Amino acid sequence: MARDGVVLEVDAVSKSFGALAALSKVSLAVRAGQIFSVIGPNGAGKSTLFNVVSGLHVPTAGRVRFRGQEITGLAPETINRLGVAKTFQITNIFPQISVFENVRVAAQSRAHESGRLSSLWRLPDVEAGAADLLRAFGLLPKRDELAENLSHGEQRYLEICLALATEPTLVLLDEPTAGMTPRETREATALIRQIASARGLTVLLIEHDMSVVMGISDRIAVLHFGEKIAEGAPEQIRNDPKVVEAYLGPPED
């Protein structure tokens, strides 16, 4: 069982690639319903941390627990089945099938794991769930478009839909607003918070846009050269001298 509402626990995790220490004794506790952001300069270890949590990398030391269960070193597909979904920095969709089929394939994977393999493509709940997700992100009018024909921002939305279609408890969002226009970024930020709240999701977020991070996060951890140098609420992080020096820079006049 998870302790004190902690959904994800990263306990003194280190990860080395040869002589390079990408992570050094990083610990986090992400509670149910939080939007928890991880920030830091390029090369700080953010993506490595995501890859350890999602099973793409096995840590050199330390442990990862999800809902009280140790998941350290489990295969990505096993971790996904337990309820952890991940999006990527580079859009990871099926470009040559329709928008609706993209989401239905993802929903099908969850239905398959639930033992409902027969007639999956016609299951009303799979169809309805896919439509609900597309509607939430404003993509339902484009359900029959090939995914490759969507705008960049719409493709980012579609990728989030694919992650949510697997009915996760925890979603790892890796720079979900990358490449979006300022307007798309504002809309995406509002949508992520709204949908996370409506679905009772816990979110672990990597994002470079500080307006997004400060506006959406309940809690923020800052990595620098693979080490966690600060953690706290947005206002604490904004005013932390170590964070300002390492990453944010002095406030503008």
> Is residue 125 within a helix (H) or strand (E), and if so which, with residue range?
helix 124-136
E runs forming strands in 43-165: 61-66, 69-70, 84-86
Of 8, 7, 25, nearest to 16 (Cα)? 25
What token pair was written down for 166?
Answer: 């697997």
Looking at residue 83, its pLDDT comes to 93
Q: Is residue 186 a contact partner of residue 195, using CB atoms and an 8 Å limit? A: no
Please give the full DSSP string across 158-211, using - where no structure is assigned.
Answer: HHHHHHHHT--SEEEEESTTTT--HHHHHHHHHHHHHHHHHHT-EEEEE-S-HH
pTM value surpassing 0.85: yes
- Domain segments of the chain as ranges: 1-83+168-253, 94-166
Q: Is residue 14 a contact partner of residue 59, using CB atoms and an 8 Å limit? A: yes
Q: Tell me, what DSSP letter sits at residue 252?
A: P
Give per-residue burial for 56-92: e unless 16+ CB within 10 Å, then b: ebebeebebbbbeeebbebeeeebbbbbbbbbbeebe
Looking at residue 248, its pLDDT comes to 67
How confident is the prediction along the chain (253 residues), in pLDDT tens digits per residue? Answer: 456 799 999 999 999 999 999 999 999 999 999 999 999 998 999 999 999 999 999 999 999 999 999 999 999 989 998 999 998 655 678 899 999 999 988 887 665 554 444 444 456 678 888 899 999 999 999 999 999 999 998 999 999 999 898 889 999 999 998 888 898 899 989 999 999 998 899 999 998 888 899 999 999 999 999 999 999 999 999 999 988 887 766 555 4
**3-state class of 97 per DSSP?**
coil
Query: Which CATH number is 1-83+168-253 given?
Result: 3.40.50.300
Looking at residue 116, its pLDDT comes to 47
